[in-house]
Amino acid sequence: MTQTIADRRDIDFVLYEQLNAERLLKTEKYEGFNRKTLDMVVTEARNFALKEFLPTYAEGDREGVRLENGAVTVPQCYKRAHKLYCEGEWLALTQKPEYGGQGLPHTFAQAVFEYLIGSNYTLTMYGILACGSGKLIELYGSEKVKNLFLKNVYTGVWGGTMLLTEPQAGSDLGSITTEAIPNGDGTYSLKGSKIFISNGEQNLTENIIHPVLARLKGAPAGTRGISLFLVPKIWVNDDGSLGEFNHITCTGVEEKMGLHGSPTCSMALGEKGMCRGYLLGEENKGMAGMFQMMNDVRLEVGTQAFAHASAAYLYAVDYARQRLQGRKLGDADLASPQVPIIGHPDVRRMLMSMKAYVDGMRSFTYYTAYCIDMAGCASSEEDRQRFKGLVEILTPVVKAYCSERGFDVCVQAMQVFGGYGYTRDYPVEQILRDCKICSIYEGSNGIQAMDFLGRKLGMDKGRVFMALIAEMEKTVAEAAAHEELAPLADRLSAALTSFKETVALIGRLASSQDFNTAFLYAHPLMEVTGDLAMAWMLLWRASVAVPRKDDKKQAAFYTGQIKTAEYFILTALPVTLGKMEGIRHAGDAALGIGEEAFSS
């Protein structure tokens, strides 16, 4: 099988031809970088991923993790790769160099993540979580806490997690009961239990740093009374040395469908001794801090699913080119040789569908990362706020839509492999299993849809939504100037008109007494938004490609951009129009049916 887990030519197309991300390097924030340096980073990420991460992918899945006496042992093959992962400084790519980060633009970091996640997401996740906990320390920790923890977390010397969920409080974080009591010396004692904690215990690092949501005695009910604490597995003395065990213990490890190399732990705090931590930020304002981290993570989850899809698609293309089966359609000569299945129309249909979604998701995730960069370095405050708004409204869509369509691409890839895809002989079986979690964790997709409808569409009195529509309409106008794209532009324009009408209708319902009916259609509305984002990104790609399609050396690549946009807009967008029609009918049958009717 090929070892192509990401498409470098397409990555460069998105970075330099579609987004023109090189202009970021002309801003004050990123003026220390140049294209040559960033290209070298991406190239080295590819080499590292293929050489060190990919060989551990199947082996780590089959070995899995073990829990004995509260200690978790990860796959043995992970140890060397993780050590090199840290030594190569791949963890904190976008974080500040003074704290151990690399300071890269988020847009270019996307390319690195493609290779790392596509080669072994489970192993990459150890670094992602460490970096996430470090970001909370950077934003909300005191100078003492930063000095004690931050560099060790960003460089991977210590691991990191997020301790949110409790048995009685899954997505309802306002119901958590873990308690924190001031000790009078600037620390707090914590007691409680948490579940579904990724990498909550492992033997890759000498210490693990846990951001923990907990409630102070007498705090207001619900999310208004939640505070955020930093709890190390091993207490860190004021001089930076490691002290005693801090009584945060792994009590169980889940048996999961995928991610077998990552322990998903149940954790007990203060069960058999004092468990101490530091307050991050202000008392009773922990949710604001945690949501800062969660927003970053939700873009990463969309990237995780997309990277799985990209790898699965490329494996499927390679297999389809090599797998001989049947004769050409219409060839009645039984003596004719078998042909590669890539020549069969139905296989072409599946590959084209996969390509459309993979290309669209690559552009969509990179564009959102680009908006993050521009929100931090645009020359005017007006532009910074505009890009910040785009990040806010797109984040739930990136997380939810890419996690669902990314998984669908993995399913189609398995179908291309046929029976072999369902076996462990080929990697798509594991890729599919590992990808599924993306639609479930970090806020399930139903919650993302509710956030999109309930919060994001109405931001700034609807101006953020209209700014997003304006970006899409700008692409439509540019495409319409090309004769061969004009019919596609017209179709997307009509779909956007229908979309605005649909959003207006559901928005009115959401602010009325029929809000329950409106939220029946939150997920379909989010899905429609993702479909339109795909059409937008693919049409944008085609607009870039049209002037370049006569380049003899790259004609196939650029023509492929145009054909992919044509395929999606002519075959998938009509289905989206049907979805919008269903939403506008706003039937309430799902609410009107009695609960007993759902059982047999």
Reduced 3-state DSSP string for 526-545: HHHHHHHHHHHHHHHHHHHH
Instruction: Count Cβ atoms below 10 Å from residue 19 Cβ, excluding itself.
Output: 20
pTM: 0.96
Q: For residue 181, is it within any domain?
A: yes
- Separation between Cα atoms, residue 300 and residue 197, nearest integer Å: 17
Choose the weakest-confidence range: 5-14, 71-80, 396-405, 583-592: 583-592
Non-local CB neighbours of 176 within 8 Å, separated by 6+ positions: 164, 166, 169, 192, 213, 214, 215, 226
Between 598 and 557, residue with greater pLDDT:
557
pLDDT score recorded for residue 1: 54
Last residue of a domain, one of 153, 188, 206: 153
Q: CB–CB of 530/405 below 8 Å?
A: yes
Question: Same domain, yes or no, for 578 and 489?
Answer: yes
- Residue 561: pLDDT band with limits 50, 70, 90: very high
Residue 301 has pLDDT above 80, yes or no: yes
Over residues 55-65, the mean pLDDT reads 98
- φ/ψ (deg, to 5) at 305: -65, -45
Question: Same domain, yes or no, for 174 and 135?
Answer: no
- Separation between Cα atoms, residue 319 and residue 250, nearest integer Å: 42
What is the number of structural domains in the chain?
Answer: 3
Over residues 532-548, the mean pLDDT reads 98
- φ/ψ (deg, to 5) at 329: -60, 125
For every residue of 142-157, DSSP letters joined together read -HHHIIIIIHHHHTTS
Q: For residue 364, is it within any domain?
A: no
Residue 332 token pair: 């009645």
- Residue 14: pLDDT band with limits 50, 70, 90: very high
Question: Same domain, yes or no, for 114 and 218?
Answer: no
Question: Same domain, yes or no, for 128 and 191?
Answer: no
pLDDT score recorded for residue 600: 62
In one letter, which amino acid is 395? T
Q: CB–CB of 246/235 below 8 Å?
A: yes
Question: Same domain, yes or no, for 83 and 188?
Answer: no
Q: CB–CB of 534/568 below 8 Å?
A: yes
Over residues 52-78, the mean pLDDT reads 97
Instruction: Count Cβ atoms below 10 Å from residue 595 Cβ, excluding itself.
Output: 6
Instruction: Count Cβ atoms below 10 Å from residue 391 Cβ, excluding itself.
Output: 21
Distance set, CA 256 to CA 160, 261, 262, 514, 571 (Å): 21, 10, 10, 39, 36
- Residue 2: pLDDT band with limits 50, 70, 90: low
- In percent, the amount of the chain with pLDDT more than 90 equals 87
- Separation between Cα atoms, residue 18 and residue 565, nearest integer Å: 14
Query: What residue numbers bound the domain in which 134 lies?
Result: 8-153
- Residue 319: pLDDT band with limits 50, 70, 90: very high
442 classed as catalytic: yes
What CATH code is carried by the domain that includes residue 272? Answer: 2.40.110.20
Residue 469 token pair: 């529509």
Instruction: Count Cβ atoms below 10 Å from residue 103 Cβ, excluding itself.
Output: 16
Q: Is the dihedral of CA 309, 314, 317, 319 positive or negative?
A: negative
- Residue 293: pLDDT band with limits 50, 70, 90: confident
For every residue of 94-161, DSSP letters joined together read TS-GGGT-----HHHHHHHHHHHHHHHHHHHHHHHHHHHHHHHHHHH--HHHIIIIIHHHHTTSSEE-
Question: Same domain, yes or no, for 477 and 535?
Answer: yes
- Separation between Cα atoms, residue 95 and residue 98, nearest integer Å: 9
- Separation between Cα atoms, residue 10 and residue 16, nearest integer Å: 10
Q: For residue 165, is it within any domain?
A: yes
The 8-class DSSP code of residue 13 comes to: I
Residue 169 has pLDDT above 80, yes or no: no
Residue 138 token pair: 């950077």
Question: Same domain, yes or no, for 116 and 181?
Answer: no
pLDDT score recorded for residue 133: 93
- Separation between Cα atoms, residue 226 and residue 211, nearest integer Å: 13
pLDDT score recorded for residue 469: 98
- φ/ψ (deg, to 5) at 194: -130, 155
- In percent, the amount of the chain with pLDDT more than 70 equals 99
3-state secondary structure of 321: helix
Q: For residue 176, is it within any domain?
A: yes
Question: Same domain, yes or no, for 136 and 179?
Answer: no
The 8-class DSSP code of residue 199 comes to: T
Beta pairing partners, 160: 209
Catalytic residue among 52, 404, 442, 527: 442
Mean pLDDT score of the chain: 95
- Separation between Cα atoms, residue 109 and residue 134, nearest integer Å: 17
What is the per-residue pLDDT across 252-270, written as a single tens digit (0 to 9) for each?
Answer: 999 999 999 999 999 999 9
Last residue of a domain, one of 153, 184, 201: 153
Question: Same domain, yes or no, for 121 and 227?
Answer: no
Q: For residue 542, is it within any domain?
A: yes
Residue 588 has pLDDT above 90, yes or no: no
Over residues 328-355, the mean pLDDT reads 94
Q: CB–CB of 106/372 below 8 Å?
A: yes
3-state secondary structure of 334: coil
Question: Same domain, yes or no, for 92 and 211?
Answer: no
Q: CB–CB of 342/348 below 8 Å?
A: yes
Q: For residue 540, is it within any domain?
A: yes
pLDDT score recorded for residue 254: 97
Q: In degrees to the nearest 10, what's the CA dihedral of 120, 126, 131, 137? A: 170
Last residue of a domain, one of 284, 302, 332: 284
Residue 54 has pLDDT above 90, yes or no: yes
Residue 259 token pair: 């991610």
Q: For residue 439, is it within any domain?
A: no
Question: Same domain, yes or no, for 201 and 250?
Answer: yes
- Residue 3: pLDDT band with limits 50, 70, 90: low
How far is it between the farthest Cα atoms of the chain?
Answer: 88
What is the per-residue pLDDT across 195-211, written as a single tens digit (0 to 9) for each?
Answer: 999 999 999 999 999 99
Outline where 445-512 has alpha helix (H). Answer: 445-451, 463-480, 486-510
What CATH code is carried by the domain that includes residue 73? Answer: 1.10.540.10
Residue 586 has pLDDT above 90, yes or no: no
Q: CB–CB of 447/439 below 8 Å?
A: no
What is the per-residue pLDDT across 79-108, written as a single tens digit (0 to 9) for each?
Answer: 999 999 999 999 999 999 999 999 999 999
Closest C-alpha among 419, 427, 544 to residue 475: 544
pLDDT score recorded for residue 596: 82
Q: For residue 415, is it within any domain?
A: no
Beta pairing partners, 72: 67
Half-sphere exposure of 150 (CA within 13 A, CB side): 21
Over residues 351-372, the mean pLDDT reads 98
Question: Same domain, yes or no, for 179 and 272?
Answer: yes
Over residues 130-144, the mean pLDDT reads 94
- Separation between Cα atoms, residue 536 and residue 367, nearest integer Å: 11
